[in-house]
Structure 1
Amino acid sequence: MSLPPNVHVSTHPCLLGKLSQLRSKSTNVKEVKTLVHEISLLLGCEALAAKTTAVPGPTDSTPLGYEYTTSTLTPETISLVPILRSGLGMVEAIQTLLPTPVPVHHLGLFREPTTLEPVEYYNNLPNHHGSASSLAIILDPVIATGGTCAAAIQTLREWGAQKVLVLSVVGAEVGVRRAAEEWPEGVEIWLAGVDKELTNSGMLKPGLGDVGDRLFLTIGK
C-alpha cells in the first residue's frame, strides 16, 4: 500500500510475530498487557533511533576513577502523551527506553458513537509559558478513523510542541492517512502494522478488538 512519507511501518520479524499473537481472541489479559509492552519497546527503539540523537554531555568518572564523556539526547525536552485508556499500556516501555525521566501528560478522547468524531474529556497539558516539549510522543495502540489521533496532534500543535511522534501498534489505512495529513511537516507516525478496512462501527478489520477493554478486562461492560 502507498502511505504518506511521514508514516513508517515496521518490518521487524519479531514485532510482526508478536502482533499476530496480539490479534488472537485467545490471548488473555495478562498476555495482552505483555505483548503491548513488548511491541511498544521494539517500535519505540526504531522510532527513537530515527528521531533522537546522542550528543556529548558532561564529564563523569567510572568506579575505577577513569573519566569519560557522558551522552545526552536531543531534543532536550521530550514528553509522553498517552491517549486514555489504552495508551497507558505503552507508557512503561517508552519510559524504559529513555535514559532519563520525562513528563507524562494525559489526553482523554472518545469517539462519539454516531459520528465517530473525537470528543475531548480530559487534558492535563501544562499551560504555563514555555511548558511545551520540543518532541511530544503520542501513545495510542490503535488508529482507526484517525479522528482521535488528528485531534491529539492538533492539541499538541496548539500547545506549542515543535514536533509530534505518534507510536501505534496498528492502524487503518484511511485513519493513518488522516492523522498523517493533519500536520505533515511536524508529525511522524510509526506503526507495527496497517489494516486496510474499517467496519461500519469504526473498528479495524481484522484489527485487535478494543485494546482498552482487553488491557483492563472490561469486555462486555
Structure 2
Amino acid sequence: MIIHNLETENSILNQFISEIRDQVIQKDTMRFRKNIERIGEVLGYELSKTLEYTKKTVQTPLGVKEIFQPEKALVLCSILRAGLPLHQGLLNYFDTAENAFISAYRDHSDNSDDFEVVVNYLASPSLANKILLLADPMLATGKTLENTINAMKSHGEPKQIHIISVIGSRKGVEYIEDVFPKNTHLWIAAIDEELNSKGYIIPGLGDSGDLSYGIKL
C-alpha cells in the first residue's frame, strides 16, 4: 500500500484537524461537518495529482487552448453515515464521479467491548476497470474497510483503489495493508498511535458520525 500521510508537512490542513479534534469547537455540528468537507477537498486535491490525464482542446471566446484533464472513470463510495461530509468534500472536486453508498456499523450485541462490523446496504454502479475512491473518515481497526471492499466485489474489479480517511490508527493502517491490493493508495490527514479497548482512536476525536449528525440510540 502507498501511504500519503499529509500530517508530515505543515499546511492549512492543520487548522481543520485541530478544530475537529477540539472538544469545544466540535460541539458546533455545522462547523464540524464543514471542516470534514474541507479536509476532503484537500485530500482530493492531493489525490488528483496521481490520476491519469488526457490532453483536450478547449475553445475560448478568443482562441483555442490545449489543457490536460483528469481521467473521469471514477466511483466515489462513502460509508454511511459518518462518511457523508467527507464524500461531499471529494464530490466538490470530482463532480463527474459516479457515486456509491454503503452502510456499515459496529454491532456490540452483548454490550461488551467486542464488536462485529455489519454491512446491510449497498448501492453502487459497476466498478469494473474504474478507479474506486473509498471515503471513511475514521480508520480505526480497519475492519469496516475490509467488510466494505468484500461487499463490493460483486460489482466488478476496479483497476485501482484510493482510500480517503481523516484520522487513522497505526494498527488500522497496518491491518488494511494486508487486506487491500499492493497498489492501493491511502490518503490520510493524521495517524494516531493508539486504540482503546472499544476500538476508538486515541486521541482521535470521538465518534465522527455522532459529531456530524447527532447521537444515535
Please tell me the TM-score bracket, short chain as reference: 0.7 to 0.9
Tell me the SS of whatever aligns to 1:207: coil
Give the equivalent residue in structure 1 for 2:194: 197
| Alpha-carbon distance, 1:68 to partner | 2.2
Structure 1 unmatched runs, 5+: none
Matching residue's letter, 1:104: N
Matching residue's letter, 1:192: A
Contact residue 2 and residue 183 of structure 2 kept, 8 A = no
Structural RMSD (CA):
1.9
CA separation of 1:132 and 1:184: change in aligned 2, threshold 3 A? closer
CA separation of 1:6 and 1:116: change in aligned 2, threshold 3 A? farther
Q: Deviations over 1:79-138 (max 9, x none)?
A: 10000001111122212222x511110011112225433211101123xxx653521001
* Count of aligned pairs between the two proteins: 208
Q: Deviations over 1:39-90 (max 9, x none)?
A: 111121112212x132212x331122x122343323x410100000011111
Contact residue 146 and residue 179 of structure 2 kept, 8 A = yes
Contact residue 138 and residue 165 of structure 1 kept, 8 A = yes
CA separation of 1:107 and 1:6: change in aligned 2, threshold 3 A? same
Give the equivalent residue in structure 1 for 2:137: 141
CA separation of 1:158 and 1:6: change in aligned 2, threshold 3 A? farther
Give the equivalent residue in structure 1 for 2:40: 40
CA separation of 1:157 and 1:7: change in aligned 2, threshold 3 A? farther
CA separation of 1:131 and 1:31: change in aligned 2, threshold 3 A? closer
Partner Cα distance (2:143, 2:86) in 1:
20
TM-score, structure 1 normalization: 0.86
Tell me the SS of whatever aligns to 2:99: coil
Q: Deviations over 1:158-213 (max 9, x none)?
A: 53112110000000110111112212324211110011111111111111111111
Partner Cα distance (1:213, 1:35) in 2:
15
Kindly indicate whether residue 179 of structure 2 is the aligned counterpart of residue 182 of structure 1: yes
Give the equivalent residue in structure 1 for 2:211: 214
Q: Which residue of 109, 116, 124 maps to 2:104? A: 109
Query: What fraction of aligned residue pairs are identical, expressed as a percent?
Result: 25
CA separation of 1:202 and 1:131: change in aligned 2, threshold 3 A? closer
Give the equivalent residue in structure 2 for 1:82: 78
TM-score, structure 2 normalization: 0.88
Partner Cα distance (1:63, 1:170) in 2:
45
Structure 2 unmatched runs, 5+: none
Partner Cα distance (1:173, 1:197) in 2:
7
Tell me the SS of whatever aligns to 1:104: strand
